[in-house]
Amino acid sequence: MKVIVGLGSCGIAAGGMKVYDKIYSLLENYGRQDITLASTGCMGMCFAEPLVEVLDEQGSHIYGLLDEENVLDVFRSHVLDGEVADQYLVKSERNDCTNAAFFSKQVRVVLSRCGAINPEEIEDAMELGAYSGLVRALSMTPQEVVEEVKASGLRGRGGAGFPTGLKWDFALASQADQKYMLCNADEGDPGAFMDRSILEGDPHSVIEGMIIGGYAIGATIGIIYARSEYPLAIERLELAMEQAKEKGFLGKNILGSGFDFDLSIKQGAGAFVCGEETAMMASIEGQRGMPRIRPPYPAERGLFNQPSNINNVETLANIGYILNFGADDYRQYGTEETKGTKVFALAGKIKRGGLVEVPAGLTVREVIEDIGGGSSSGKPIKAVQLGGPSGGCIPVELFDTPIDYGTLAETGAIMGSGGLVVMDEDNCMVDIARYFLDFTQKESCGKCTFCRVGTKRMLEILTRITEGKGVPGDIEKLETLAHQVQKNSLCALGQTAPNPVLTTLKYFRHEYEAHINDKKCPALQCRALISYRIDPVLCTGCTVCARNCPVHCISGEPRETHVIDPSICTRCGNCKAVCRFGAVIVE
């Protein structure tokens, strides 16, 4: 029997380390040296962390929402007595498991080893195919490797969706004594955690992709640009690199092929703009992270003015699979335009939030409702923000849109790196647009006037609207500014920054108009545009609201109807939160 505890960042944050320590002490106390205790990365079910998997003769049984107390029930029932503890079961090979739908439409290529191996043990990864793709690649010529990646149809998973094989072909064709293979692990989208989870759960998939890429384009040096806010991912990457060197997969004369490849990690300081490839290279060089004009493209003159190739984490994690199983196997998934699978981070108001991987072509609705389980609040879902601050808001009416690069672009959103934030009817779409624009405005490097100043002016208008100070003509100004920023910004940060504004204007214009013309927030979220009152029929005079009001704007005698003075009320919401009778009404 083997007991595995999920110790990705999500599991650790939920208390997974305490659960691990508890199981360890129980095994010690009961003298069960015959049972193996191990750890793994994110299993995908972040909504049920901490997770513990028990592997026995009947197969895999995963228990969720455990703590130091209830894990004792699981231990006694399953580990000691061999009886499945059904009340804590969240995934099983049995069809009647409550979360079967979470996995029913997933196809795990990138995530095939995440949650299935100990990311700190290279032997675990090798047993499930790690570095098999590298072995095959080294038996081929660099051009043959490039052609295999081309044939797979893999497109860059970092946002733009440029064909990966074509990108490699450009770098291979460039002549230079030194070339660089670069990995963009600077994941900065709010609500996104795909790259972090891959690096924590299966760092060998990215390392293998880097080595194969280096061989294909003729690079002998690889650099992974990772966010310093990802300490666990960096720690496991460094350990995996050491183990890969010991096995002969990294360093000099890899597997006796004559190919040399060294890999290192450069930690970024958290600038969102450094997710743009030319800004990332500037940061690696020790310069301020600012984009540069293209052409020349990195394949011609990249890092230190040498030919360079940049792919993101998820793109590289596909490479080993493609070389191991072949392009045709990979092409069986997806659509004509978008081959393979896509990893998404489900966040926001969704019941089963976590990490999922689906074949391209699945609809937004299938991901949110079938896999994610729908709304976590019980209220109707209004929209989903797809692609992070650079993406757009898709309304529920368009949830039957297939997930691929072309059809998503037609809605005004983008696939992006894979952040998917769900919003319900309580979310104000004007405020959502303000939030994302505030993020991109602060993260602008300031090089372009349109990005630096244009986003600032847009943010000022949006803030004014949410504060009840919007005036006729603001919507038109927003649209004009948005198109100017899109057209005249140098890099993708500025070019896509207006997307949340333009999509919310396109699909939720009535909310903007209500804010400006009626001075009302339909979602009842913008403080300046809402008011509180107490329903005299429902009020029992319990005085709880008055006692919890920080500005003492509620008056009334015990067991008599209370009243809110709107001239004093700060709309903090305390009264509504503490009222047990639903007497506080927000309008």
pLDDT range class, residue 94, cuts 50, 70, 90 = low
Q: What is the mean pLDDT of residues 346-361?
A: 96
Which of 380, 407, 424 corresponds to the end of one domain? 424
Neighbouring-strand partners of residue 551:
none
Residue whose C-alpha is closest to residue 184's, from 45, 10, 355, 303: 303
Confidence at residue 191, expressed as pLDDT on a 0 to 100 scale = 84
- Identify whether residues 573 and 468 lie together within a single domain: no
The CATH number of the domain holding residue 484 is 1.20.1440.230
Rounded Cα distance between 197 and 113, Å, is 11
pLDDT at 11 over 80: yes
Distance, in Å, from the CA atom of 15 to the CA atom of 12, rounded to the nearest integer, reads 5
Burial class, 33, CB count within 10 angstroms (exposed 0-12 / middle 13-18 / buried 19+):
exposed
Give Dmax (Cα) for the chain: 88
Query: Is a pLDDT exceeding 90 seen at residue 391?
Result: no
Taking residues 80-93, what's their average pLDDT?
Answer: 90
Residue 149 belongs to what domain range?
122-331
First to last CA, the chain: 58
For residue range 218-230, what is the model confidence (pLDDT) as tens digits? 999 999 999 999 9
**513 plus 537 within the same structural domain:** no
| Least confident span in 45-59, 234-248, 405-419, 557-571 | 405-419
Give the chain's mean pLDDT.
95
Same domain, 187 and 326: yes
In a domain, 111, yes or no: no
Residues 213 and 326 in one domain: yes
- CATH of residue 213's domain is 3.40.50.11540
Supply the DSSP symbol for 412: T
Q: What is the dihedral of CA 196, 63, 53, 353, to 10 degrees?
A: -20
Same domain, 387 and 440: no
Residue 109 in domain: no
Is 525 inside any structural domain?
Answer: no
Residue in the block written with tokens 């696939």: 415
pLDDT tens digits, residue range 100-153?
Answer: 789 889 999 999 999 999 999 999 999 999 999 999 999 999 999 999 999 999
Please state, for a pLDDT cut of 90, what percent of the chain lies above it: 91
CA-atom Rg of the chain in angstroms: 26
pLDDT tens-digit profile of 293-337? 989 999 999 999 999 999 999 999 999 999 999 999 999 999 999
Looking at residue 532, its pLDDT comes to: 96
* Range in 229-243, 286-300, 406-420 with the lowest mean pLDDT: 406-420
> Quick one: DSSP state of residue 47?
G
Of residues 418 and 292, the one with the higher pLDDT is 292
d(CA 322, CA 478): 45
Cα–Cα distance between 546 and 38 in angstroms, integer? 53
| Model pLDDT, residue 61 | 93
* 3-state helix vs strand vs coil in the chain, percent to 5: 45, 15, 40
Residue 447 lies in a domain: yes
- How far apart, in whole angstroms, are the C-alpha atoms of residue 218 and residue 320? 17
Token pair for residue 441? 């405005």
Quick one: which of 1, 110, 111 has its CA closest to 45? Answer: 111
Residue 114 lies in a domain: no
Lowest mean pLDDT among 8-17, 186-195, 515-524: 186-195
Structure tokens at 337: 């335009």
**Could you tell me if 310 and 163 lie in one domain?**
yes
Domain for residue 285, yes or no?
yes
Residue 73: pLDDT band with limits 50, 70, 90: very high
Domain boundary among 369, 396, 424: 424
Indicate whether 339 pLDDT > 90: yes
Among 424, 446, 478, give the residue marking a domain's end. 424
Q: Examine the domain organization and report whether 441 and 418 are in the same domain.
A: no
156, 282: one domain: yes
Residue 305 lies in a domain: yes
Which CATH number does the domain housing residue 407 bear?
3.10.20.600
What is the structure's pLDDT at 97?
65
What gap in Å lies between CA 420 and CA 342, rounded to an integer? 12
Cβ proximity of 435 and 428 under 8 Å: no
CA distance 204 to 183: 13
Domain harbouring 28, CATH code: 3.40.30.10
Q: How many structural domains comprise the chain?
A: 5
Q: Is the pLDDT of residue 528 over 80?
A: yes
* Distances 437 to 307, 392, 431, 460 between C-alpha atoms, Å: 34, 11, 10, 10
- For residues 234 and 178, membership in a common domain is answered with yes
Cis geometry, peptide bond prior to residue 389 (ω within 30 degrees of 0): no
* Whether residue 291 has a cis bond before it, omega within 30° of 0: no
Query: Does 354 lie in the same domain as 401?
Result: yes
Nearest CA-CA partner of 363 in 388, 347, 344 = 344
Is residue 63 in some structural domain? Answer: yes
Tokens of 580: 């047990």
Q: What is the pLDDT of residues 269-287, one digit of tens each?
A: 889 999 999 999 999 999 9
Please, which residues have CB within 8 angstroms of residue 414's CB and are 6 or more apart in sequence?
Answer: 159, 386, 387, 390, 391, 392, 405, 408, 496, 499
Could you tell me the pLDDT band of residue 482, with boundaries at 50, 70 and 90?
Answer: very high
Task: Say yes or no: 297 and 221 in one domain.
Answer: yes
Residues 420 and 437 in one domain: no
Question: What is the domain-level CATH number for residue 569?
Answer: 3.30.70.20
Q: For position 416, what pLDDT does the model report?
A: 79
- What is the spatial distance between Cα 573 and Cα 433, in angstroms, rounded to a whole number? 23
CA dist., res. 519 & res. 458, Å (int): 19
